[in-house]
Amino acid sequence: MTPAPAQSSAPRLLVALLISWAILAASFAVTSWLLSGMEVSGGVWGYIWVSALFGIVNAVLGTILRILTLPLTLLTLGLFSVVVNAVLLSITDSLSSGLTIDEFWWTAIWAAIILAVVSVVLELFVRILMWREPRYTASLDSRS
């Protein structure tokens, strides 16, 4: 008897969530390393805490902000989404003592851009590693 689809997909969903969380933490680390006006304190756990808090802020407030600013985002061909992400970073900064952003306009805007680019690159890298087909050597192919 096979398990119900909801039961078998739960571990996969948890693993995907943890991988996304780790990618976001690594993205925060790279962004704070590249951008002098943004700092994450607390070491590895600081990056994990800030990425978790940013994920929650992004899921709750980000959804509302994106819906409210959809006409402006369409009018600017998506460029206003950078401002929305910068606002979400500033909200995360105000909620956490582990994240420090100097100024909204330049630091938060650049942090939003760098964070998005680094996250996309790391997600692509992880997807390539996880979905890679196993390679067969010549000795394994000759046995069949």
Give the position of tokens 């969530």.
Answer: 17
Tell me if 38 sits within 8 A of 32, measured CB to CB: yes
Q: Give the separation between CA 105 and CA 33, rounded to whole angstroms.
A: 19
Domain-wise residue ranges, the chain = 29-120
Residue 118 makes CB contacts below 8 A (sequence gap 6+) with: 26, 27, 30, 31
Report the C-alpha gap between 51 and 30 in whole angstroms: 12
Residue in the structure block whose two tokens are 């790279």: 30
Are 88 and 62 a contacting pair, CB within 8 Å?
yes
Beta bridge partners of 39: 100
72 CB-near residues (< 8 Å, 6+ apart): 80
Residues 62-104: tens digit of each pLDDT: 999 999 999 999 999 999 999 999 999 999 999 999 999 998 8
Local structure of 101: helix, strand or coil: strand
Question: What's the pLDDT tens digit per position in 24-71?
Answer: 999 999 999 999 999 999 999 999 999 999 999 999 999 999 999 999
Q: What is the band of 5 on the pLDDT scale with cuts at 50, 70, 90? A: low
Pairing status of strand 38-40 against strand 99-101:
antiparallel
Give 10's pLDDT tier (boundaries 50, 70, 90): confident
CB 59 within 8 A of CB 139: no
